[in-house]
Structure 1
Amino acid sequence: MRIHHLNTGTMCPIGKRLVNGSGSIFQRARMVCHCLLVESNDGLVLVDTGIGLDDIADPPRLGRKWVRQTTPRLDPAETAVRQVQALGFSPSDVRHVLLTHLDRDHAGGVPDFPNAKVHVHRREYEMAVTRQVAPPAGRYISAQWQHGPDWAFYGEGGEDWFGFAGVRALGDREPDILMIPLPGHTLGHCGIAVRHNGGWLLHAGDAYFHHAQLDARPRMPLVLGMFQRRADMDRATRIQNQERLRQLKAAHGATVTIVNSHDPVDYETCRRGRHAAAAA
């Protein structure tokens, strides 16, 4: 399968050294919304959607505090739908949208693909959409799914994948795209694994925020670490899953490439490295 790596929303908070781990505290940092566009056997598959056109048209709906703190560029050309079109596809070619979770910078582009089936863990849906479990105040932006997407749910049954349990394939039909429960950041947070070039690419969403967190001696810039802790719904489980990802990288790094959503190093490494040929 061919994989395109997309940055669907650049965020530029102040304090580059404390966010990216290098540069000056007076410089603007760079964070990305790293999404995958996969040319699969069942049409185009989009892994996360980043910031959408409706968000850019009405930035306050993202939350004034969030916009002030993250300083997103809000460039329509960065949206997933515009990048899909730039690659020569139609938005209707996107048959499936797989969401790591429903935070505003991951689900904002969902309305831009109204014909796609939207795949999400049931616990995430029950908190963010139906609110059967009360979410933290202001966590989710319900306007991002007010159009009524065609939902598909995960969380029941599943198989084992490198020690991760409850793993299911896309619609139980596409064995090369897997949804992997990785709770902690949110209760229904998932990673998405795609088989590619004889190995796997695991998009771990917000299970970790900085590439050095998966090193043998993990490191984390101060402000980014504070943000990660504040965003945790279940910190203990998030830490446990980070350790499992660290072990996966140590044991199977030759065949499993792990990336997260917001680290520009992960994003640029994918574009220029092992998956660059597919993204070119």
Structure 2
Amino acid sequence: MRIHHLNCGTMRGLVDHCLLIETQNELVLVDTGFGVETVRNPGKMLGPTRFTLGAKLAESETAIRQIQALGHDPRDVRHIILTHLDVDHCGGLSDFPEATVHVHGPEFRAATATPTFSEKLRYRAANWSHGPKWMVNEVEGGEDWFGFRAVRGLEGLPPEILVVPLAGHTRGHAGVAIDTGAGWLLHAGDSYFVESSIHPETPVTPFFWKMYETGSVLGEAYRENQKRLRELQRLHGHQVTIINSHDAVVFARAAGL
């Protein structure tokens, strides 16, 4: 498999780190970032978050345009794996209407049933109003993976791609682990925001991000999973490379920039 690191949305010094995975027969996206419709109609797709995110919307940064620039047909994107359903992670779903969209059950229900006021604010149904081909997976069962529980493969995807429950930032937040053949790559989504937060020996979270993290839907789970990520770095850093969604330094290193 070949993995491309894509920035699908620049936001006030942050990136929107998505993955394009070339498997033997098809393309797989991990998150979509902002989509074409986000760029063309931000009020509808982002709502009030268009101002808080500070997004610098550019169609050239959308996943579909970057996939085309790589010489691929976007129709070959057969699967999209979402870390969660915040607008900056699923805004490009409508650009790939034929893809199967994999999402954890607790996340799907939180986004579609809006059980709390804060969740109603964070999710925008406009991003899935086209009717995606949902594939909802639950968090029960699964296997152990480097100390993370209920890790599983996804229907229709190669066994080298696993979904890792990482609840906290949202109810059904998940990471995606990929066996590259030379070690594991774990996309941890919004489980942390700056790399220093998961330093294995001396973790430091800047004050702004520490305050931002207090908005996690499941605070205790968020802190526990961040602790597990630090342990993963400490014990298995030679086997697993951890990336996230928004740290520009992590993205630049992963993308070889």
Residues 49 and 80, structure 1, Cα contact 8 Å, conserved in 2: yes
Q: Counterparts in 2 of 1:7-22, with a 5 A limit?
A: 7-12=7-12
Letter in 1 for 2:158: E
Q: Deviations over 1:186-245 (max 9, x none)?
A: 010000001114210000000111000011211122222222222x00111100000000
| Residue in structure 2 matching 1:223, options 189, 205, 208 | 208
| SS across alignment from 1:60 | helix
Residues 46 and 96, structure 1, Cα contact 8 Å, conserved in 2: yes
Q: Deviations over 1:170-199 (max 9, x none)?
A: 216521000010000001000000111421
Residues 154 and 168, structure 1, Cα contact 8 Å, conserved in 2: no
Q: Using the alignment, how far apart are the partners of 2:84 and 2:134 within structure 1? A: 13
Letter in 1 for 2:131: G
Taking structure 1 as reference, are residues 63 and 3 closer, same or farther at Cα in structure 2, changes over 3 Å only?
A: closer
Letter in 2 for 1:213: S
Q: Counterparts in 2 of 1:92-111, with a 5 A limit?
A: 92-111=75-94
TM-score by length of 1: 0.87
Letter in 1 for 2:202: R
| SS across alignment from 2:79 | strand
- The range that moved more, 131-140 or 260-269, is 131-140
Residues 52 and 111, structure 1, Cα contact 8 Å, conserved in 2: yes
| SS across alignment from 1:175 | coil
What's the counterpart of residue 49 of structure 1?
Answer: 32
Is 1:40 the counterpart of 2:40? The answer is no
Aligned residues: 254
Q: Using the alignment, how far apart are the partners of 2:95 and 2:117 within structure 1? A: 25
Is 1:209 the counterpart of 2:193? The answer is yes
Letter in 2 for 1:186: T
Taking structure 1 as reference, are residues 242 and 145 closer, same or farther at Cα in structure 2, changes over 3 Å only?
A: same
- The range that moved more, 45-54 or 169-178, is 169-178
What is the aligned-residue identity percentage? 47
| Residue in structure 1 matching 2:161, options 165, 168, 177 | 177
Residues 37 and 45, structure 2, Cα contact 8 Å, conserved in 1: no
Taking structure 1 as reference, are residues 162 and 42 closer, same or farther at Cα in structure 2, changes over 3 Å only?
A: farther
How many angstroms does 1:261 deviate by?
A: 0.2
Q: Which 4+ stretches in 1 moved above 3 angstroms?
A: 62-65, 132-135
| Residue in structure 1 matching 2:239, options 241, 255, 266 | 255
- The range that moved more, 172-181 or 120-129, is 172-181
Is 1:5 the counterpart of 2:27? The answer is no
Q: Using the alignment, how far apart are the partners of 1:261 and 1:228 within structure 2? A: 14
- The range that moved more, 215-224 or 83-92, is 215-224
Residues 167 and 173, structure 2, Cα contact 8 Å, conserved in 1: yes
Q: Deviations over 1:252-273 (max 9, x none)?
A: 101100011000011011112x
How many angstroms does 1:132 deviate by?
A: 6.9
Taking structure 1 as reference, are residues 42 and 134 closer, same or farther at Cα in structure 2, changes over 3 Å only?
A: farther
Letter in 2 for 1:7: N
What's the counterpart of residue 55 of structure 2?
Answer: 72
Q: Using the alignment, how far apart are the partners of 1:211 and 1:143 within structure 2? A: 32
Give the gaps of 5 or more residues in structure 2: none
Q: Using the alignment, how far apart are the partners of 1:257 and 1:57 within structure 2? A: 35
Letter in 1 for 2:243: V
What is the root-mean-square deviation in Å for CA atoms of aligned residues?
A: 1.5
Q: Deviations over 1:34-63 (max 9, x none)?
A: 000001134100000001111111111244
Letter in 2 for 1:256: V
Is 1:89 the counterpart of 2:95? The answer is no
| SS across alignment from 2:51 | helix
